[in-house]
Amino acid sequence: MKVRNIIFAVLAAALSLGCQKEDYVWVKTGIDRAQHQLMLTAAEIDETGMMPRSIWVGYDLDMLSKQLEKDKEVFKDSLRAQPAAELLGTRRLCGIYDWTSGFFPGSLWYVYELTGDESVKEQAARFTEKLNPVREYTGTHDLGFMINCSYGNALRLSPADTIPAVMIQTADNLCSRFDENIGCIRSWDFGTWNFPVIIDNMMNLDLLFNASRLSGNPYYREIALKHADKTMPNHFREDHTSWHVVSYNNDGTVESKQTFQGKNDDSAWSRGQAWGLYGYTAVYRETSDRKYLDFAQAIADMFIERTTTEDGIPYWDFDAPAGEDTPRDASAAAVAACGMLELSTMAENGEKYFNQAEKILKSLSSDAYLAAPGENQGFVLMHSTGSLAHGSEIDVPLNYADYYYLEGLQRYMGLKGIEYKNL
């Protein structure tokens, strides 16, 4: 009987291990597919001096009218020009000063971290170095995206004495956009707004937190917290959905509130909600101040409640008319998944956030969103939406969707104790 019990125990353990391995096939598929796509892209664009951003697509006015629930005559003047016919379906590249330029090298760094493949590391370093001139740039609030996602990951995974100087100089340039009277970092330098601040700017605060650690100077951290504290009461509604753009008067009072890339000013543009979720989770990580944790949880709860799709990938705007033809936004899902995974380690009911993030990552790793090898112009994920309200990047791959998908896989594997070599 004792022998029999031992045999049963061994068989049960073997079956358990087999099932466990099978459970994570989707993780390996996602990583392997990403490595293939990104290395293919790196080889094809290496000599261009550019970064991959998306795929060129056009738009249909009737579809936009239906999604925005507006007569086309009302919004047609705000639409971007349709791409030339010969561009349609081709890879959309961008220069190093584009706000998305840091995501491709950052994605390569994540693939290197996940696989340990030295050839990927080599490409990650090459494309990161291309961004070195950005350290002199002051013309955008997106310096955090551009430098923290590239050089920041390089510092983690391949430290070099030259990297901290790049990040600190860039942080100085980001801080030059901070206005003490207003209490925020200025976002855009275009348009008729007096001092526009977009919810995306919460994502650039990590660069400032890192700069304080690297320099020993609390100045960068102080500015980050002032920005977060000003944004909290002004950018969010009572239900914890956020406006996209809040413009301030010079005395710090609110000039206007809009949702520039959403369905309308009062709608909940899904990626904006994800930016806020991720951003305030990061601020809590850096401060341990309970008010930020409570706020991040409230945003996460709203995000989960407002996501009505079966696969957990939200529509481009939570208030868009839901239907089979309504564009999804894989980028919003990926950003939210990253925020929820980190939040799951902080909140008392963390399992709720972990489970939702896992659902999102499994969906993104399915054939419905994960591109086939060699397809999708070398991008990893399909079905993101950039700015539908402007007819731009609708139902396309986006480099930041790929980046946060890979960050999500990295966070997930860390929490589950999974190593690539064992998949």
Contacts of 274 (CB under 8 A, 6+ apart): 303, 331, 332, 333, 335, 336, 339
Instruction: State the pTM of this model.
Output: 0.95
Mean of the per-residue pLDDT values for the chain?
A: 95
Q: Report the pLDDT averaged over residues 254-275.
A: 98
| Residue 352 domain-assigned (yes or no) | yes
Catalytic residue among 142, 317, 329, 395: 142
Q: For 198-211, what is each residue's pLDDT tens digit?
A: 999 999 999 999 99
Q: Looking at the domain assignment, is residue 314 inside a domain?
A: yes
Number of domains the chain contains:
1
| Residue 213 pLDDT > 70 | yes
Q: Going by DSSP bridges, is the β-strand pair 184-185/245-248 parallel, antiparallel, or unpaired?
A: unpaired
pLDDT surpassing 80 at residue 14: no
* β-bridge mates for residue 396, sequence order: 384
Classify residue 310: in a domain, yes or no.
Answer: yes
d(CA 150, CA 35): 17
69: left (phi over 0), alpha (psi -120 to 50) or beta: left
CA distances from 18 to 12, 284, 422 (A): 10, 38, 12
Active-site choice (46, 62, 200, 229): 200
Locate 374 and state its tokens. Answer: 């060699």
- Name the band, by pLDDT with cuts 50, 70 and 90, for residue 13: very low
Tell me which residue range forms the domain holding 202: 23-422
Residue 259 lies in a domain: yes
Instruction: Find out whether 156 and 144 touch, Cβ atoms under 8 Å.
Output: no
Please check whether residue 3 lies inside any domain of the structure: no
The CATH number that applies at residue 35 is 1.50.10.10
Annotated active-site residue 200? The verdict is yes
| Tens-place pLDDT, residues 146-183 | 999 999 999 999 999 999 999 999 999 999 999 999 99
Q: How far is CA 76 from CA 58, 284, 307, in A?
A: 14, 41, 29
DSSP assignment of 366-417: STTTBPPTT-GGG-SB--EEEEGGGTEEEEE--HHHHHHHHHHHHHHHHHHT
373 domain-assigned: yes
How confident is the model over 376-398, as pLDDT tens digits? 999 999 999 999 999 999 999 99
Distance CA 112, CA 145 (A): 19
DSSP lists the bridge partners of residue 257 as 246
Residue 178 belongs to some domain of the structure: yes
Q: Is 117 a catalytic residue?
A: no
Give tens-digit pLDDT for 361-376: 999 999 999 999 999 9
**Residue 91 covered by a domain:** yes
